[in-house]
Structure 1
């Protein structure tokens, strides 16, 4: 039952928390409270319940330091992803892959680079 509740909570709350990561616990709290108000205004009782649970857990566990730490972990993962994509691109060029395959790998590098920049901007807020 806990697993199901956690899964459902993730489905309900994940879009809220991922849309624009707040840089402080106060900002995160405000974001969740706005979503609660929106869900209440639209009569979505299940979403309200899930968000209220998320708010309670956030109030109990959130620290600005933990948010900074998580942001840094995301940046580190994105750096690793970018390095792997760049290596794949170098290998494709070295192996004489087709222009289409090289272009596909270049798009992956560009996407990984954009994601890294986004996460670095978030982490610096």
Structure 2
């Protein structure tokens, strides 16, 4: 029975995905897909959290707010990259090869996260 419900929700989400006219609607659809996945795996605590998130989005979401939040995340990630660069420079200055390698990896991870953020449609 749960499988049929999850399948129905998944199909509904897929059928409506192409008709999303706003970022908030897309966000609602993403949450619905996650709920379907959680139902498929009988993860009730995840379902409860996602239903709460869905109610919040429906009550408070605006496309302008989503865009502003996204720009804030990008700015924060750029600050993270700057901090990682400072850490790397400090490690290079000390000549600790192990720390240099770790700092380079952290910097690369931060840069990859920024690329992922910038590639989103917000």
Relative contact order (C-alpha < 8 Å, sep 6+): which is higher?
A: 1
Which residue in the other structure is 1:61 paired with? 60
Which residue in the other structure is 2:114 paired with? 116
Question: How many angstroms does 1:73 deviate by?
Answer: 0.8
Question: What is the aligned-residue RMSD (CA, Å)?
Answer: 2.2
Distance 2:74 2:44 in 1: 35
Distance 1:83 1:53 in 2: 35
After superposition, the Cα gap between the structure-2 partners of 1:64 and 1:101, relative to the gap in structure 1 and judged at 3 Å, is same
Which residue in the other structure is 1:25 paired with? 24
Could you list the per-position Cα deviations for residues 59-83 of structure 1 after superposition, in whole angstroms to 9, with x for gaps in the alignment? 1100111111111111011100100
SS, match of residue 73 in structure 2: helix
Distance 1:81 1:58 in 2: 28
TM-score for both structures, normalised by structure 2: 0.69
List runs of 5+ in structure 1 lacking aligned partners.
1-22
List runs of 5+ in structure 2 lacking aligned partners.
1-21
Which residue in the other structure is 1:92 paired with? 91
Distance 2:106 2:40 in 1: 41
